[in-house]
Amino acid sequence: MRFSLQREVFLKPLAQVVNVVERRQTLPVLANLLVQVGDGQLALTGTDLEVEMVARVAVEDAGDGETTIPARKLFDIIRALPDGSRVTVSQSAEKVTVQAGRSRFTLATLPANDFPSIDEVEATERVTVPESTLKELIERTSFAMAQQDVRYYLNGLLFDLREGNLRCVATDGHRLALCEAEYEGGVQAKRQIIVPRKGVTELQRLLEGGDREVGLEMGRGHLRVKRNDVTFTSKLIDGRFPDYEAVVPIGADQQVTVDREVLRASLQRAAILSNEKYRGVRIEVSPGQLKISAHNPEQEEAQEEIEAETRVDGLSVGFNVNYLLDALTALKEEQVILAMRDANSSALVREASNERCRHVVMPLRL
């Protein structure tokens, strides 16, 4: 096996794949990348048995073959080489030599046959969406995923497919984030899959935005995302996601329209004096204004007043300030709406002009 290419061209696929490789492995070969050369193309594969990433790039001076090379060492070497270097990788027996200018490195390899491959995905559904759409859906919802919750099905992101509509939903039981987008070519039946946290994180890192189309293939136990230069596969969480639509408050007629950035800055300031354990702030609504207050066990107090477009009078609700800030960060428009029913109801936070992305934050007893 042999190939040659520019350092910068080699570094991009390497960086995509190396993140999948865990630093602590159960099998020695999982610390390696599967390196395959054929038809003038180099394919790099990394896996931790849950997530698999295959990145492809065209190479010159290629001799077909395959082996596995230590992932971190190879990445660190290529990253440390000077810009514009031409890198040549060649294999002899059980060693691989990496050469660039006067630099030369010899690395140990393991047989390619030992490298595990994720089962072939028997796709039951296939959809195509613009890369920017998928990136936006994940970015606007993934922060609300649970972390190491015993309800394992919450430790991931729900992809809810309907005809011509793709929704991403995440919840940790205290707040919920939902964002949807339309796409061309619907699925035959409604389908829900839960992608685990690591798969979501790697997918988010991989997606670059833009109008390029990416293909989503869903099998019984896997999700596969295909782009012309990368194929990403993740196992799915086997479980039922809760009925999230029942959580979104209906008939929340107590509405407040407010400048997103002004509200965010006020909450950040009030949070400084909130209780470190519960992070609680109280929001009081009266006609034309919103009052934010926070207390802590040291009897310290913060108060903020901001202008708001509302006719609601005498409504007072407590919230975890971090959850509100996360929701506001995920929204993009200048004006946002906070909608509530009463002092004990959750708040629905959304952009003023559309309901495409909705965030629900549960109340906190203060």
SS3 of 81, please?
coil
| Calpha distance 56→13 (Å, rounded) | 7
SS3 of 207, please?
coil
Domain layout of the chain by residue ranges: 2-114, 125-245, 248-361
CA atoms within 13 A on the CB side of 293: 11
**CB-CB neighbours of 65 under 10 Å:** 15
Torsion 268-274-277-279 (CA) sign: negative
- In a 10 Å sphere around its CB, with 0-12 CB exposed, 13-18 middle and 19+ buried, how is residue 278 labelled? middle
Sheet holding 2-6, edge to edge: 60-63, 2-6, 86-92, 95-100, 103-108
| pTM of the complete model beyond 0.75 | yes
Closest CA to 221 of 128, 119, 304: 119
| Calpha distance 151→146 (Å, rounded) | 9
One fold for 2-114 and 125-245: yes
Burial 205-240 (b: 16+ CB within 10 A, else e): ebbeeeeebbebbbbeebbbbbbeebbbbbbbbeee
Q: Contact, 181 vs 356, CB < 8 A?
A: yes
CA atoms within 13 A on the CB side of 156: 23
CA atoms within 13 A on the CB side of 349: 28
- In a 10 Å sphere around its CB, with 0-12 CB exposed, 13-18 middle and 19+ buried, how is residue 159 labelled? buried
Domain 2-114 has CATH 3.10.150.10: yes
Domain 125-245 has CATH 3.10.150.10: yes
* Average pLDDT along the chain, 366 residues, taken 10 residues at a time: 97 95 90 96 96 96 95 98 96 96 97 87 86 96 96 97 92 97 75 96 93 92 94 96 92 94 98 95 97 97 97 95 98 96 93 96 92
Res 325: pLDDT: 98
Sheet holding 213-218, edge to edge: 65-70, 32-38, 41-47, 51-58, 230-235, 222-227, 213-218, 125-130
DSSP classification of residue 110? B
Domain 248-361 has CATH 3.40.190.10: no
The packing angle between helices 7-18 and 71-80, to 10°, is 150
Give the angle 92-93-97 at the CA atoms, nearest 5°.
35
Q: List % helix, strand, coil for the chain (3-state, nearest 5).
A: 20, 45, 35
| Calpha distance 234→328 (Å, rounded) | 29
